[in-house]
Every structure is written in C-alpha cells, then in structure tokens.
C-alpha cells in the first residue's frame, strides 16, 4: 500500500482529522489516492510556542478535547493511520487555514488536500520511512488495523456534547456543589457550536446543559453562567492574529460555570452572599483585589488571609489539584511597600500534563514580572518557582498578576527536563 512519511506532530494532527492540508515542495500528479500515514524518526518541534497563534489555539483545543496526545507522547518511526489525498493545488491559501504559499513563482508550494483520515488504535512501530510516496507491502485495503473513532463536539438545542480528556471528565464527575468552569478557544471552525455574531460582537448561544464524555465515561452538568472573554495583552489591548487568507482575528474564549446536574444550589439564595463578598473585595488593597480578579478570570478558587497586626496579606490558590499532582500557589502582598511575591510550589514531582493543564487556564501573557529563581529537589522532584514584582509605586494590575502566574508556570515547564534526571 502507498505510504507517505510526515514528521510529528503534523502526522498526528492529520490522522486525527485536524489538519486537512499537507504542504510539499514537489507535485503529486496522481490523485485521488489513499496513503498510510508514517511518522518520521524525528519530531519537527516539541512545543507549539513558535507556531502562529492560530495553530496554537487549534492544537490547544484538540489537546483539551483529548483528540490528540501531547507532542512528547506521540509515536515516531511508526504507521499511525490512513488518509485520502483528493487533490493537489499550488499556493491555495483560500482552501484551508493549513495551506502554505510561496512568493517564488518558480518554486510554488504544493498543497495536498486530505480527506477521510483515520487514526489506528495501535500504531505499527519500528517502520523505516522513505522520501516521497513509497510502498509498504505488509498492509493493503483488506488488512488495515482497527481505527479509533475521533469524537466531535455537537449541539442539540440548548445542550452541548463535548469530548474531553479523561482526567477532566473525572474532574466534572467528582465536582461538588461549588461547581467548576470550562473554557474553550473560539475559532471560525467551532464558533457555530458556541456562539453567533451579532452587530460585530460574539454572542453566546443559550446553553442549559453540557455533557462531557470520553469513551464510555460521561457526565451531564448544568450551566450556571456563560461568559465570552476577549483575551488582552499586558497593555489591555485585544490580542489580534491572522490566518493564511489575511483575515484579522481576535482571540476570544467562552467560559461556562457549571454545577452538578441535580445540584440544589439556589442562585436566589446566593445573591446576598455574593453581594457581601463583593463589598468585602471592594475594601481590599488594590493589588489584592486585582490578584483575586486575575485568579477568578483563570477559574481558580482562592483563600485570603491577613493577621490583624501583620503588614502582609496572603492569597492562596491551587493551580491544579488533580489527585496528588498538586500545584499550590501563594501571593504575598506587603501592604506597606506594595511589593508582591508569588510562589508556585509542589510537594512531589508533578507530571508535565498537570503543568500544561495549568498553563491552559492562564490566559494572560508576559507582563513586567519575571522569575527570580527556580529550585528543584532532586530526591522527589518537588519544585518551587518564585516571581517578584517590585513596582511598589502603583498597585499590581490584573494582567500583571496573571502574568506572574504565567511566568512561574513557564519557569517550571522550562525546567521540567531536570525533574526527570
């Protein structure tokens, strides 16, 4: 059977039906044709950080839904699926967000249009690839391996059905009456499930229930509130990015606050409590108030503490509380000097999946704060990352508070390879 070797992670995204174009510098003259998807021995990259933001958001959504694994978990030197090449065009950026182009008329980019992708349940390992399209004699149309059914989002009236990573499904199954939040990047490909455009604004569709599922596991939750948030930079400006067609897009996310389906929590009874809480927050030091706002926007619960005779206020949160894989965090605010110190720490080694899950919830990018240091305990892999903000002449902004969290998580992520030594 014909086979095409593609570097990871692109091969995985194609087999999962996410990427519908394969870009090459050579022309394919025979199509349609079905080819096996072979993964090269080397991955093109280990992180999506250098990719255009559009691709980062598409991939982040796919990872969140459990459709693709993280890059470090993707197999190499293997046949992982099959796909049909149905057309071959040149510099055809109008056809797909994945199509590349060349400004050199003598050296165009050939766009292979892909359809009917299937991901094998078990990859065929230790297969050596070749350049171009080559023959793999051990497979044909009659003995292809079992394929995985790739789950998709769907909407039925006012209910959404959303596939999720298994650990996140477990989180929603086990949540208490305080509820949880779910956030998702809004892109052209998925907008119709969640919202519509009215007067150039994104307006959420009415949603009363969400069913999260993974394989045979599922849980139905009740939607308490829905918010659409435009993600901003440190200056408070909307983050704008482009696509291959030259369109200007604004980064927006939708957030659902959800409760157990049969939760007896009464919104009417909570109003006085919420008002009392808001009154208390209004009386806080501005930096403390902005830190809490940043944590709330990222969906984190928090605790505020201050001893009567102390000049310090402490705001604590759990960045990730998946089982024993916890990331605990503390903001210490010196109410006299305005200096803020943020410490992110663990008691044991934390899997990179938990760290990446925390990163997903931090929607605020680099601000004025920067990591002061990172300590890793070689015995148990525990880690401590500290970030300081010494701009004591003005209150810490919401964006700066969020960026302190982002920087600390980034420091842990960048030092993660040392945890494995």
Residue ranges per structural domain of the chain: 2-148, 154-265, 269-419
Q: Is the pLDDT reported for residue 108 higher than 80?
A: yes
Beta carbons of 218 and 212 less than 8 angstroms apart: yes
Which pLDDT value is given to residue 328? 78
* CATH T-level assignment (fold) for domain 154-265: 2.30.130
Which pLDDT value is given to residue 271? 43
C-alpha to C-alpha distance for 292 and 303, rounded to whole angstroms:
9
Q: Is the pLDDT reported for residue 407 higher than 60?
A: yes
Which pLDDT value is given to residue 421? 41
pLDDT band with cut points at 50, 70 and 90 for residue 284: confident
pTM summary value:
0.64
Which pLDDT value is given to residue 157? 96
pLDDT band with cut points at 50, 70 and 90 for residue 356: low
Beta carbons of 344 and 409 less than 8 angstroms apart: yes
Q: Is the pLDDT reported for residue 364 higher than 50?
A: no
For the stretch 141-194, pLDDT in tens is: 999 999 999 999 999 999 999 999 898 999 999 998 889 999 999 999 899 999
For the stretch 110-134, pLDDT in tens is: 999 999 999 999 999 999 999 999 9
Which pLDDT value is given to residue 267? 46
* CATH T-level assignment (fold) for domain 2-148: 2.30.130
Give the chain's mean pLDDT.
Answer: 84
Same CATH fold, 269-419 and 154-265?
A: no
Residues whose CB falls within 8 Å of the CB of residue 335, separated by 6 or more in sequence, listed in order = 285, 311, 312, 313
What average pLDDT does this structure show over 253-267? Answer: 80
Greater confidence, 74 or 420?
74
* CATH T-level assignment (fold) for domain 269-419: Yope Regulator; Chain: A, (3.30.1460)
C-alpha to C-alpha distance for 159 and 223, rounded to whole angstroms:
9
Q: How many CB atoms lie within 10 A of CB 39?
A: 27
What average pLDDT does this structure show over 262-289? Answer: 61
pLDDT band with cut points at 50, 70 and 90 for residue 320: low
């Amino acid at each position: 059977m014909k086979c095409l070797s593609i570097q990871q992670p692109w091969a995985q995204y194609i087999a999962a039906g996410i990427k519908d174009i394969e870009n090459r510098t050579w022309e394919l003259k025979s199509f349609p044709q079905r080819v096996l998807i072979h993964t090269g021995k080397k991955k093109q990259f280990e992180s999506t950080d250098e990719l255009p933001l559009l691709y980062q958001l598409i991939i982040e959504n796919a990872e969140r839904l459990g459709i693709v694994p993280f890059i470090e978990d993707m197999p190499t030197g293997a046949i992982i699926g099959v796909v049909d090449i149905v057309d071959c065009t040149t510099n055809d950026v109008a056809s797909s967000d994945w199509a590349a182009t060349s400004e050199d008329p003598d050296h165009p980019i050939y766009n292979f249009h892909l359809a009917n992708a299937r991901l094998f349940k078990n990859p065929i390992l230790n297969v050596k690839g070749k350049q171009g399209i080559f023959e793999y004699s051990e497979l044909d149309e009659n003995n292809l391996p079992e394929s995985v059914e790739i789950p998709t989002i769907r909407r039925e009236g006012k209910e959404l059905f959303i596939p999720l990573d298994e650990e996140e499904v477990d989180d929603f199954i086990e949540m208490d009456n305080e509820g949880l939040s779910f956030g998702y990047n809004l892109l052209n490909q998925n907008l119709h499930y969640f919202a519509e455009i009215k007067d150039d604004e994104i307006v959420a569709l009415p949603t009363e229930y969400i069913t999260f599922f993974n394989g045979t596991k599922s849980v139905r939750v009740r939607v308490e509130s829905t918010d659409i948030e435009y993600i901003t930079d440190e200056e408070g400006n909307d983050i704008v990015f482009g696509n291959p067609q030259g369109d200007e897009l604004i980064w927006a996310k939708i957030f659902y606050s959800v409760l157990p389906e049969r939760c007896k929590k009464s919104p009417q009874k909570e109003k006085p409590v919420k008002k009392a809480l808001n009154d208390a927050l209004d009386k806080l030091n501005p930096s403390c108030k902005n830190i809490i706002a940043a944590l709330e926007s990222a969906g984190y619960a928090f605790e505020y503490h201050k001893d009567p005779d102390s000049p310090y206020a402490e705001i604590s949160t759990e960045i990730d509380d998946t089982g024993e894989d916890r990331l605990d965090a503390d903001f210490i605010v010196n109410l006299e000097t305005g200096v803020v110190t943020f410490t992110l720490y663990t008691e044991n080694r934390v899997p990179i999946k938990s760290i990446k899950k925390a990163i997903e919830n931090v929607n605020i990018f680099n601000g004025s704060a920067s990591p002061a240091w990172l300590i890793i305990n070689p015995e148990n892999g525990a880690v401590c990352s500290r970030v300081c903000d010494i701009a004591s002449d003005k209150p810490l902004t919401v964006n700066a508070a969020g960026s302190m969290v982002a920087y600390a998580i980034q420091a842990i992520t960048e030092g993660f390879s040392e945890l494995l030594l």
